[in-house]
Amino acid sequence: MDALFSKMVKSGKITYFLDVKEAKNNTKYLTVTASQPSREEPKKFTKSSINVFSNSADEFIGAVKQAKEELASPQTFSKTVKSGKMTYFVDTKEAKNNTKYVTVTASQPSKDDPKKFTRKRINIFDSAANDFLGALEEAATHMK
């Protein structure tokens, strides 16, 4: 499936890919993928992706924008965005080296066992936050 819009954001060893696509039912959605070198296997990459559908995109982007602004604050930030069966958790956290980052977790009921949840997480470090947010806002314009 071809993307309607694609943007790549590099930050150190992590590369973020933001792709706007269209589902079979003509609904647009955003796939955000974080790719980084694997710690276990040289020349391999670890990827994590989340999908954000157009009906929750504005609220999702607003939560990421708020979290990015809170990176400078000594307090932590947490916001939940619900969209159908999908729930997004946007939080600020502090790493061992005292740098803060944004973590975005997408959670949905497991297809195998509806009592369990499948979670996917992407971390956005302070050094990439401005570029990532700019790409995210640009992608949103292609979802309308």
- Nearest partner of 79 among 55, 98, 105, judged by Cα: 105
pLDDT for the residue numbered 43: 84
Q: Which is higher by pLDDT, 61 or 41?
A: 61
- Residue 1 in this model has a pLDDT that exceeds 80: no
> Is 84 in a helix, a strand, or coil?
coil
For 50-87, how does the pLDDT look when each residue is reduced to its tens digit (9 = 90+)? 999 999 999 999 999 999 999 988 889 999 999 999 99
Task: State the CB neighbour count (10 A cutoff) for residue 83.
Answer: 17
Q: Alpha helix (H) ranges present in the chain?
A: 54-70, 126-141
- Domains of the chain from N-terminus onward: 5-141 (3.30.2450.30)
What global pTM score does this model have?
Answer: 0.90
